Structure 1
Amino acid sequence: MTDNRDAQWFAKNLTDRTIRGIALETRALIRAGALPVGTKLPPIRDLAFVLGVSPATISEAWSELRRQKIISGRGRTGTWISGDRFIAKPHRLGSSGNYGEGILNLTAAVPDPRLLPPLAEAMAYGASAENLNSYERNRIVPELEHEVRKIWPYEPEAFLATNGGYNAVYTLVHALLPPGASVAIEDPTGMRLLDILEDRGVRIIPVQCDSEGPLPPALAAALKSKPVAFIFQPRLHSVTGQSVSRKRLEALAEVLRDSDTLIVEDDGTGDISAAARHSLGEHFPSRVIHILSFSKTHGPDLRLAVLSSTRAIVDQIQSYRSFSAGWTSRILQAATAWLLRDPGTQALVDQARAVYQNRRDNLVSALQFRGVPATHGSGLCAWVPVASEPFAMVTLAAHGIAVHPGAKFAILPTRYLRVATATLSDRYEQVADSITLAAGL
């Protein structure tokens, strides 16, 4: 600590006594150098008394600055200025390393470009989309809505095209969830989902899962905290490779029946999964938001996902989007509609699914043969148990293999590795040997 500022000092320098005003003006003082890094802040109760506001007001303002990583500490240790930069950064995704030549990078669970359908003909079609170059803020072009209705797992009131699955989640989180709200989410989950929620400053309530999906007792316990939303992957879990069974979905519906919690279903892997599409929208159409991304199956440069919900909720999400782009490219929407109609594209998606399944199966079988209890499933990666994540990461790095520790995907403690398998077309035995050594089981 290099300096202190007492409550009286803040009273002279803060004119707006609202939560937002206190946060903004304190941030401006830090930027101007009046509150240098290392400055200890006065106790919340002292500052609240002098400013004539409640301690909760100061606490909320500090929470906003803490979310931006510019103040640190709490409780008896005190709070101090820890940074003077205000750049939002996805902490979990941003902590990924840069790997040089000779490193087998198994960190990114992304589609193999060689298995994606060609886009030239679809893009040429998209360039003639109806109402092209209009500034009208359409939610979704009619032909894309027509195609997705054929495959949607329930009958929603309204659809909205977004710039990818994570863009859909980011937008709805900011449109519907206030900072400080509680959100229940399956654990583990996608690390970018956690980045989005942590950046928003919500309270994350982890819901433990097993091989069939979120555990109903764990969800029931989470609902006691009155979360604004429950986020889960209703079809294929992008991290563990397990699928939610129909029986489990019905059990979750029973738990959610007496709540008013929003239900966000993130189908981020789409038809990489062979499992049937299903949704809690059949039970709760007034509060389900269902998201289907086409990035993994049809191409990440399409930048396209579609969400569904009630008209009121879609209008609220679209209203937030009006602060930025306002709509998703009609060229990309029409191109995606063309791809969804094209039998050749569907055949390529089916072929890719089989290849991904084979690659995942090959690694998991090799691990099981060596005594590592990895679990068969589907998708673009494997979730591998280890005795110690730090030891496993160091050991694999020494063998020239990069993976992600399970901690990046969880709030609760983990002892797993997330190993991408989508591009692992060979070297299964070598990778399995290294992981077996690293697992220490």
Structure 2
Amino acid sequence: MNPTQPDARGADLDAQWLAAQIDEPSARGIAATVAALIRAGTITPGSRLPTVRALALRLGVSPATVSEAWSMLRRRRSVAGRGRAGTVVIGPPDVPHPRRFEEVGRHGSRLLHDLRLAVPDTALLPPLDAALAAALRTGELHEYTRVPITERLADAVRPTWPFSPADLLAVNGGFDGLMLLCQTLVVTGDKVAVEDPTAPRLLDILDAVGAEVIPVRCDERGPRPDALADAVRRKPVLFIYQPHAHSPAGHSVDATRSAELGAELRDSETLVIEDDGLANLAPGPVHTLGTALPDRVVFVRSYSKSHGPDLRLAVLGGAAPLIERARVYRTFGSGWTSRILQNCLAHLLTDPHTHELVAQAGETYRTRRRTLAEALAARGVRTGGTEGLSLWMPVEDERSALVTLAAHGVAVVPGGRCFFGPHEPFLRVATSRLHDHVDEVADLLAFAAFEEHDPGQPTITRP
């Protein structure tokens, strides 16, 4: 390797020179060499990498190999695509950052109403003392035995699972489960179909694993069948969506829509991940694809919002081969989720008093959401959906609305973080902890919703 070659420093890197630096012409070898040159300062930020075809020709490999190497570097934030300008060096390799999740903004001491995080009200969570005591009564305590899911927890979750799962696995929360599944089922460059809008952290996860996202637009009944059909034609390895109490839009997939989605997927090889973040907090049946496509579906159910975030617990249930891949991957790290916490949740799920408390909490969240929605409707702003811990509020201009609200001490989430593609301007407003000052908040939200703040402005409706 001759890293001091003058051609390596400048706006355009010479393909012949770069090829001479590469000892192992595999995707990983190419990426490792370029990363080392960037780290050493031999290739400087702003330099433009050779085209995929030019470097592939010099190395005697396929363009796909070089393209995969560039994808690896993009995942580590070392390079970025600049359209016609090519692939440009950003800087030394870095770990992926959940940029959508981290962009919470700064509001200082002026913040009066923080409506960004759709999280449970701690006053509505069930007590854990008796459940933790019951969880300690086990002969397996302190054993170094990798238990995918304890017998107690498996017995507790099966009666309420929306379909009969071939296998179950306990993980450390819903997004931990989603990350685990994406890591085991997605290879860099794979296409993944995702309902649009969706949870910002899911989009961050897909960025981290190097997936190519195919957005599937939604209406008030969930993912649109025509949009899913278009996505399936591009042969995605996964389709990820929320069948019930969608966050952030608040809709649920009904039986007819579920059958329509199943029909679009039936003749494909696309696997399905169904994400349920509210568990027992949202009433009504969950219309799942797990019944129609049992060999291709994994259902992820998180109990953080219903039973306590410090339990750090979710359960994956569905096709046995997919669950097994996730279980095996976990052996590189933690190996299993705490049996104490698993059995604690099992106690809570089978305790009648806890069941009543969770049902009451769900009704309280629905009341808070409905109260703000009705207050906004009275002020000319209509929202959609009926479930969840947040409202999806249309505005004339997202940025202007955010600035207006921040000036009045209100923080919300811009809808842009929840979309992968183009979208109408929206704000996501958390309602789970909003139990007072509702009229004051509704006044400010309505004021921010309209660009001209004209009382005669026509009502904005959710498309």
Which band: TM-score by shorter chain? over 0.9
Identify unmatched segments of 5+ residues in structure 1: none
Aligned match for 1:432, one of 414, 438, 442: 442
| C-alpha separation in 2, matches of 1:3 and 1:225 | 35
Corresponding residue SS for 1:337: helix
The residue number in structure 2 matching 1:317 is 326
1:439 counterpart letter in structure 2 = A
| C-alpha separation in 2, matches of 1:376 and 1:215 | 15
| C-alpha separation in 2, matches of 1:405 and 1:349 | 30
The residue number in structure 1 matching 2:291 is 282
Corresponding residue SS for 1:36: coil
- Conservation of the 8 A alpha-carbon contact between 2:381 and 2:449: yes
Aligned match for 2:81, one of 73, 81, 84: 73
**Residue 388 in structure 1 maps to residue 397 in structure 2:** yes
Query: Cα distance, 1:99 vs. partner?
Result: 3.7
| C-alpha separation in 2, matches of 1:376 and 1:140 | 34
**Residue 26 in structure 1 maps to residue 34 in structure 2:** yes
The root-mean-square deviation of aligned C-alpha atoms, in Å, is 1.5
The residue number in structure 2 matching 1:62 is 70
| C-alpha separation in 1, matches of 2:345 and 2:325 | 25
**Residue 413 in structure 1 maps to residue 431 in structure 2:** no
Which stretch shows the higher mean deviation, 80-89 or 210-219?
Answer: 80-89
TM-score of the superposition, structure 1-length normalised? 0.97
- Conservation of the 8 A alpha-carbon contact between 2:220 and 2:385: no
Aligned match for 2:279, one of 270, 277, 287: 270
Which stretch shows the higher mean deviation, 233-242 or 27-36?
Answer: 27-36
| C-alpha separation in 2, matches of 1:154 and 1:276 | 11
- Conservation of the 8 A alpha-carbon contact between 1:386 and 1:392: yes
Query: Cα distance, 1:67 vs. partner?
Result: 2.2
1:234 counterpart letter in structure 2 = P
TM-score of the superposition, structure 2-length normalised? 0.92
Query: Cα distance, 1:3 vs. partner?
Result: 4.8
Query: Cα distance, 1:253 vs. partner?
Result: 1.5
Which stretch shows the higher mean deviation, 370-379 or 317-326?
Answer: 370-379
| C-alpha separation in 2, matches of 1:54 and 1:96 | 42
The residue number in structure 2 matching 1:247 is 256
1:179-194 alignment runs, 5 A limit: 179-194=188-203
- Conservation of the 8 A alpha-carbon contact between 1:243 and 1:275: no
The residue number in structure 1 matching 2:369 is 360
How many pairs are equivalent?
A: 441
The residue number in structure 2 matching 1:88 is 96
- Conservation of the 8 A alpha-carbon contact between 1:238 and 1:269: no
Query: Cα distance, 1:11 vs. partner?
Result: 2.1
Corresponding residue SS for 1:280: coil
Which stretch shows the higher mean deviation, 128-137 or 19-28?
Answer: 128-137
| C-alpha separation in 2, matches of 1:73 and 1:262 | 29
**Residue 374 in structure 1 maps to residue 378 in structure 2:** no
Identify unmatched segments of 5+ residues in structure 2: 1-8, 451-459
Distance change in 2, residues 1:59/1:134 (3 Å): same
| C-alpha separation in 1, matches of 2:385 and 2:235 | 35
Corresponding residue SS for 1:289: strand
Aligned match for 1:127, one of 133, 136, 139: 136
| C-alpha separation in 2, matches of 1:375 and 1:430 | 21
Corresponding residue SS for 2:290: helix
| C-alpha separation in 1, matches of 2:334 and 2:206 | 22
Query: Cα distance, 1:349 vs. partner?
Result: 0.5
Query: Cα distance, 1:284 vs. partner?
Result: 0.9
